[in-house]
């Protein structure tokens, strides 16, 4: 399912970005309480709405990012629904499963099997808190990819991510915020595996610029545009990689996630599918591929 275009995730992402002409990533966070009229507030309603969402929006997106928790909440039936929905997505559209995994090595190895092999994720989100040893099984897949949480978009992100870290004399790294140190570490992991990028929120545009200067080669997954009020211009300016395997490719490895901005268009619409398609096309136009295609 993941080998249709190119052998690596970044190659497949670049190919799809070139076709879609956008860096738009469709976020799928289906809250049963927020479904449009005509969709039951249960798993059946969720699955039917996500089917509509995918069918209407897929022509306009570079990737799709389902949030695992919204399906896990329904137990085994919810995971089965997500597996069915995964099969609905064409093989040339990368799927980023937002799982925020990361645990001791043996556990992470089983997470890799669950997310990559069983669910068919092209990429996932992971936490760096346990260090490289913990997420190595999630990185050691040359055809897959892991976006490491770095500077997130939530209001409380700075509580830990802005903590000042002492200088590392051996590496010649200065005293700096934790999120910057995470980026430096992920750059080292990327040198080894070639399968690591960063999650960087659009609600922190100054921090994003710093991270791009520290890690010019890393692909960014950017949440926070739309409902969270992130900076679109700063994201398009600082988001694309300028070096490495992502740099120079269509989109520079950048993905900008939009969830409610697309799905929410169906809420009060007489024709939910048409409203979703229009919203997706609008966001795709606002998130163009700015780099020249090779």
Is 100 marked active-site?
yes
Burial of 29: CB neighbours in 10 Å, binned 0-12, 13-18, 19+: middle
d(CA 147, CA 139): 10
Nearest to 253 by CA among 190, 176, 203: 190
For the chain, how many residues are written? 294
From the candidates 100, 184, 260, 286, give the one annotated as an active-site residue: 100
- Pull the structure tokens for residue 13: 């992402």
- C-beta of residue 23 within 8 angstroms of C-beta of residue 255: yes
Query: Does residue 86 contact residue 95 with C-beta atoms inside 8 Å?
Result: yes
280 close to 61: Cβ distance less than 8 angstroms: yes
φ, ψ (nearest 5 deg) of residue 140:
-85, 50
Do 177 and 163 contact (CB within 8 A), yes or no?
yes
| Neighbour-count burial of 130, counting CB atoms closer than 10 A to its CB (0-12 exposed, 13-18 middle, 19+ buried) | middle
Residue with tokens 């430096």: 184
Beta carbons of 136 and 108 less than 8 angstroms apart: yes
Residues designated catalytic = 100
């Amino acid at each position: 399912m993941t080998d249709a275009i190119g052998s690596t995730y970044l190659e497949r992402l670049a190919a799809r970005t070139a076709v879609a002409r956008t860096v738009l990533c469709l976020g799928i966070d289906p809250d049963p309480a927020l479904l449009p009229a005509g969709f039951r507030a249960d798993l059946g309603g969720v699955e039917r709405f996500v089917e509509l969402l995918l069918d209407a929006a897929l022509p306009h997106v570079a990737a799709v990012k389902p949030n695992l928790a919204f399906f896990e909440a329904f137990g085994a039936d919810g995971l089965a629904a997500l597996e069915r929905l995964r099969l609905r997505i064409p093989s040339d559209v990368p799927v980023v499963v937002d799982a925020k995994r990361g645990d001791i090595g043996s556990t992470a190895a089983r997470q890799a099997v669950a997310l990559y092999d069983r669910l068919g994720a092209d990429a996932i989100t992971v936490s760096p808190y346990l260090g490289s040893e913990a997420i190595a099984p999630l990185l050691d897949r040359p055809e897959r990819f892991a976006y490491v949480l770095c500077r997130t978009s939530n209001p409380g992100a700075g509580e830990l991510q802005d903590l000042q870290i002492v200088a590392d004399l051996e590496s010649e790294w200065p005293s700096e915020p934790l999120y910057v140190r995470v980026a430096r570490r992920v750059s080292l992991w990327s040198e080894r595996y070639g399968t690591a990028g960063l999650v960087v929120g659009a609600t922190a545009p100054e921090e994003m610029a710093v991270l791009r200067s520290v890690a010019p080669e890393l692909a960014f997954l950017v949440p926070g545009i739309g409902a969270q009020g992130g900076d679109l211009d700063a994201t398009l300016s600082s988001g694309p990689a300028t070096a490495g395997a992502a740099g120079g490719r269509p989109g520079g490895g950048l993905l900008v996630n939009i969830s409610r901005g697309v799905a929410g268009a169906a809420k009060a619409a007489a024709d939910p599918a048409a409203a979703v398609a229009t919203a997706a096309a609008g966001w795709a136009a606002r998130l163009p591929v700015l780099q020249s295609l090779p």
